[in-house]
Amino acid sequence: MYDYFEVILGIILVLILSIILGLLMGSLGSYLGFLAATMVVGYRSRNDLAKGALWGALCAVLAGVVFMVTMFLMTSLIGFGPGASMMEMGILAMIIGLMVDGLIGSVGGALGWLMWAKGF
């Protein structure tokens, strides 16, 4: 049960930080939001490196799915929005985007665990 709480907390953190930093700094800020939030999740794992990396990747991929669904709905219902250009790229680009999100989340989770292990 505790693991689910960490993953849900991580998804919420990823969504919030990614949106805020994305608005302030663009695409790079959005990815920094993914990294920072998954570092928090990895730090909270405290057990082992694999769990921190797995939780980070899971949080990032699930948050990426939430972003994709939101972009799809905005594009199909309104006809424009922040995800309209992403939808033109096709499903392959979205899958690659989710893979990048997962990679960033995994690295963030591992870095968060490393910070905990080193006593930061």
What is the pLDDT tens value at each position of the chain, 120 positions in all?
556 888 898 899 999 999 899 889 988 888 999 999 999 999 888 878 888 899 999 999 999 999 888 887 877 777 666 655 666 677 788 888 889 999 999 999 999 999 998 887
* Identity at 3, one-letter amino acid code: D
Torsion of CA 89, 104, 42, 120, to 10 degrees: -140
Q: What is the pLDDT of residue 102?
A: 93
Q: What is the pLDDT of residue 106?
A: 94
Q: What is the pLDDT of residue 6?
A: 83
Rg (the chain; Cα; Å): 15
Give the separation between CA 102 and CA 23, rounded to whole angstroms.
Answer: 21
Tokens describing residue 21: 């930093």
Do 34 and 101 form a contact (C-beta atoms < 8 A)? yes
